[in-house]
Amino acid sequence: MIRTATPAGERNRRDEWPPAAALRKITRGMRPKIRVWVTFGDDMKFGDGRARLLELIDARGSLSKAAEELEMSYRNAWGYLQDLERAAGFQFVERMAGGGPKSGMRLTADGKRFLERYRKFRTALDDTMKRQFARTFPRGRSARARKRT
């Protein structure tokens, strides 16, 4: 077999590690996961957990129902909201007066706008992460193998 020299820094396909077949076996069942926070100052983090709390408050109209669904105490959820609003400098939620079925809590316009932007930011990061993961850990047959068939 005659081997041709490859330019410095380039590797011959036969020298790849791991081989494509082994890489497919290794990556089976692998999925990328990323944790992201938006920070307010040095201490306050806003991530998927707080976003989910806000979404549930908006959907259920109640902090207590949202906290219960997330299996967290009302006091802890209320503390999260207070810390978040203090750090962000604006209100995320407002109480609805009444005492009847229309009472409870809802997101403010600023809270909804922030949550929409966070979700847009997060979706873009997830899309980019998935594309990069697919490039780095290809799952199907290699382009070279597809050309042969």
Question: Would you say 77 and 70 are in contact if contact means Cβ atoms under 8 Å apart?
Answer: yes
Per-residue burial over 17-28, b = 16 or more CB atoms within 10 Å of its CB, e = otherwise: eeebeebbeebe
Neighbours of 50 (CB within 10 A): 21
pLDDT tens digit sequence for 70-85: 999 999 999 999 999 9
Q: For helices 48-60 and 74-88, what crossing angle results, to 10°?
A: 110
**Cα–Cα distance, 96 to 60 (Å, whole number):** 13
Judge contact between 28 and 38, C-beta under 8 A: no
Is 71 part of any domain? yes
- Other C-beta atoms closer than 10 Å to the C-beta of 149 total 5
Structure-token pair, residue 81: 């909201």
Confidence of residue 43 (pLDDT cuts 50, 70, 90): confident
What span, in angstroms and rounded, lies between the C-alpha atoms of 137 and 28?
Answer: 10
**DSSP code at position 13:** G
118 within domain boundaries: yes
124 within some domain: yes
pLDDT, mean of residues 52-67: 95
- Please indicate, yes or no, if residue 79 is contained in any of the structural domains: yes
The stretches of 14-62 forming alpha helices (DSSP H) are 20-27, 48-60
Judging by DSSP bridges, how do beta strands 38-40 and 44-46 pair with one another?
antiparallel
- Residue 33 in this model has a pLDDT that exceeds 80: yes
Domain membership of residue 116 as a residue range: 45-137
Number of domains within the chain: 1
122 belongs to a structural domain: yes
Structural tokens at position 148: 């042969």
In a domain, 146, yes or no: no
Give the pLDDT score at 65.
94
pTM above 0.75, yes or no: no
Q: What is the CATH number for 54? A: 1.10.10.10
Is 121 inside any structural domain? Answer: yes
Q: pLDDT tens digits, residue range 75-121?
A: 999 999 999 999 999 999 998 876 555 568 999 999 999 999 999 99
Neighbours of 58 (CB within 10 A): 17
In a domain, 7, yes or no: no
